[in-house]
Amino acid sequence: MARFRPAALDWLRRYDGRTAGADGLAAVIVTIMLVPQSLAYAMLAGLPPAAGLYASILPLIAYAAFGSSRTLAVGPVAVISLMTAAATAEAAAATGIAPAAAALLLAGLSGLMLLAMAALRLGFVANFLSHPVVGGFITASGLLIALGQTGHLLGVSARGDTLPAILTALYDGLLTRGINLPTLVVGGLSLIFLFWCRKRLKPLLVKAGFGPRAADAVAKAAPAVAVLASILAVGQLDLAAAGVKVVGVLPAGLPPLTLPPLDADAVLALLGPAALISLIGFVESISVAQTLAAKRRQRISADAELVGLGAANIAASVTGGYPVTGGFARSVVNFDAGAETPMAGVFTAAGIALAALFLTPAFRDLPQAVLAATIIVAVLSLVDLKAPLRAWAYSRADGIAMAVTILGVLLAGVEAGILAGVIASLALFLRHSARPHMAVVGQVPGSEHFRNVDRHRVAVSDTVLTVRIDESLYFANARALEDRISSLVACRPSLRHVVLMCPAVNLIDLSALESLEAINRRLAEGGISFHLSEVKGPVMDRLARSHFLDELTGRVFLSQHAAMQALDPEMTRAADGLVRDAAS
């Protein structure tokens, strides 16, 4: 941390009027998009709508000061909101803490964890959330969110953390209260309008002469239009009296200064969810940041991202917000609208603050069904049901890990699902490395290259057996090597040398060292000497610290070709010669 230097120090020095203009324009567009989104995601998180606005003010400024991405837009996002809803509900049930207070605590804990990860250089831990796990989690939580919000469209409650829970709640709600028709009409029209904007509006605008980026930005502002139209409709037709649930009175003003409650039981209950929210938020955010940075040849620092997101979450916890991270859709809008520096985020924060000060009365009549429709449209674009099939087609292990994650999230909730996915990923990786691929190799005639005898036409020796092991040698697979060499040697009576070719061996642990010693001893008893070739530097350094090299009956060769030149010079000359003849 001592070496840490806020990225803002770099870009602020060269900040000028032109850049401010570009950032300001982007901020206006992002603000229009973010106001309804903030209200909607707060609703999804089970919090008062104002919490969404508050989470979109100070956290943006905190990220701008410390984060390394020039264009990432932070704030409330769908999946983190879903995780917040689950975590606060569970903590409330267990300890009696109010959901809003639990959300503050969750953001504070998550912020501290992100800072701790930066200080301890633990950012690599996020890599253990593999692509299939993250992809599966997003698809499954998108489905859960969309289904949960369907309740708002129908005018019934459908809260729950798992598919069975949501379906049961939806069924019970429909059975006891029935569909509220005005709500369905308002919500259904919004949904159709928003889907139309997403799919058709942009091409239409492009045809009408807009630039593709401008068209995209206008299309992304569609929710603001739906919001305005529905507010007017509710006011004119008095739909609230007809049973259409509305946002209601929002407090006007800047975010309150809050202190997360320091309740030990609640802290304990929220530690696990906070860790998962930190990791998922970080993985999501850094993926978006890297994608955008690559387009402009900028670099992202994982440590700076951890600090930026950590600061943003702590900011959220002291200003009435809830956990935030970098969002995909809003960052793309920010980027496409021409944002050049994180100052765009500061301007956006100012825009949201103005909305919180002056626009809250306008949101009183906003139907919850419209917010639900904006959420459904946003999250369904994240759902990719064919992804597990594509993953399976590439590798069964990845397909299984993704399927486990999706089913786990749908059936047992976000935390259990992600945990199951990570465990499945690790188990499948270990299973692969525990059953290493081994190949008997021979010389590709005319080259110094050695390949698998089963796949290539190669020259082999009668007296020298070369086995290439395609895996690091460690406890889980060392015995497999012993077995394989025993059985290969057993059927080759003329054998005088065994060479273990190690270009793929990146580690020889103590268990594997014992196996190599056993192989060396057993071969020696049969009058066969044991050699190694192409041992990598770091592995060789470690072997030199043991007695193995003293006991080894054979030698360690720099290259497999050198081994064959020494152990069977005649065969090697013949194999080398083939191409020289052919070339001459």
Residues 258 to 317 in contact with its own copies, rule: CB under 8 A: 290, 294, 297, 299
Q: Kindly determine how many residues on this chain lie close enough to bind its own copies according to the rule CB under 8 A.
A: 72
Amino acid at the residue 349: A
Which residue, 243 or 526, has its beta carbon nearer to its own copies?
526
- Give the residue, chosen from 132, 142, 187, 367, that forms a contact with its own copies under the rule CB under 8 A: 132
Which residue, 236 or 584, has its beta carbon nearer to its own copies?
584
Beta carbons within 8 Å of 310's beta carbon, 6+ residues apart: 66, 111, 112, 113, 114, 115, 117, 118
Which residue, 284 or 534, has its beta carbon nearer to its own copies?
534
CA 169 to chain centre: 30
Q: Are 428 and 400 spatial neighbours (Cβ–Cβ below 8 Å)?
A: yes
Which residue, 6 or 503, has its beta carbon nearer to its own copies?
503
Closest distance to its own copies from the beta carbon of 103 (Å): 30
Closest distance to its own copies from the beta carbon of 558 (Å): 7
- Give the residue, chosen from 177, 200, 521, 573, that forms a contact with its own copies under the rule CB under 8 A: 521
375-414: contacts with its own copies (CB under 8 A): 391, 393-395, 397-398
49-78: contacts with its own copies (CB under 8 A): none
DSSP-based three-state secondary structure for 75: strand
DSSP-based three-state secondary structure for 99: helix
φ/ψ (deg, to 5) at 107: -65, -40
551-570: contacts with its own copies (CB under 8 A): 558-559, 561-562
Three-class DSSP labels, 215-281: HHHHHHCHHHHHHHHHHHHHHHHCHHHHCCCECCCCCCCCCCCCCCCCCHHHHHHHHHHHHHHHHHH
Bridge partners (DSSP) of residue 302 are none
Stretch that binds its own copies, among 37-45, 261-269, 457-465, 470-478 (CB under 8 A): 470-478
DSSP-based three-state secondary structure for 301: coil
* 86 counts as binding its own copies under rule CB under 8 A: no
189-228: contacts with its own copies (CB under 8 A): none
Q: What is the C-alpha separation between 340 and 431, in angstroms, rounded? A: 46
Which residue, 130 or 319, has its beta carbon nearer to its own copies?
130
* 364 counts as binding its own copies under rule CB under 8 A: no
* 484 counts as binding its own copies under rule CB under 8 A: no
* 517 counts as binding its own copies under rule CB under 8 A: no
Q: Are 42 and 76 spatial neighbours (Cβ–Cβ below 8 Å)?
A: yes
- Give the residue, chosen from 425, 443, 466, 520, that forms a contact with its own copies under the rule CB under 8 A: 425
Closest distance to its own copies from the beta carbon of 428 (Å): 9
- Give the residue, chosen from 17, 209, 527, 537, that forms a contact with its own copies under the rule CB under 8 A: 537
* 549 counts as binding its own copies under rule CB under 8 A: no
Q: Which H or E run contains 425?
A: helix 414-434
Q: Are 447 and 479 spatial neighbours (Cβ–Cβ below 8 Å)?
A: no
* 492 counts as binding its own copies under rule CB under 8 A: no
Which residue, 179 or 294, has its beta carbon nearer to its own copies?
294
Closest distance to its own copies from the beta carbon of 527 (Å): 12
Q: Which H or E run contains 103?
A: helix 99-119
Q: What is the C-alpha separation between 359 and 368, in angstroms, rounded? A: 17
Stretch 91-130: interaction string toward its own copies, x if CB under 8 A: ---------------------------------x--xxxx
Q: What is the C-alpha separation between 424 and 70, in angstroms, rounded? A: 36
Residue written as tokens 């009183």?
364
Which residue, 369 or 422, has its beta carbon nearer to its own copies?
422
Which residue, 79 or 476, has its beta carbon nearer to its own copies?
476
Q: What is the C-alpha separation between 412 and 423, in angstroms, rounded? A: 15
Which residue, 10 or 238, has its beta carbon nearer to its own copies?
10
Number of H helices, E strands in the chain: 26, 8
Q: Are 568 and 461 spatial neighbours (Cβ–Cβ below 8 Å)?
A: yes
Closest distance to its own copies from the beta carbon of 375 (Å): 27
Q: Are 446 and 575 spatial neighbours (Cβ–Cβ below 8 Å)?
A: yes
- Give the residue, chosen from 159, 364, 432, 555, that forms a contact with its own copies under the rule CB under 8 A: 432
Which residue, 191 or 391, has its beta carbon nearer to its own copies?
391
Which residue, 220 or 561, has its beta carbon nearer to its own copies?
561
* 479 counts as binding its own copies under rule CB under 8 A: yes
- Residue 21: count of CB within 10 angstroms of its CB: 12
Stretch that binds its own copies, among 160-168, 171-179, 403-411, 469-477 (CB under 8 A): 469-477
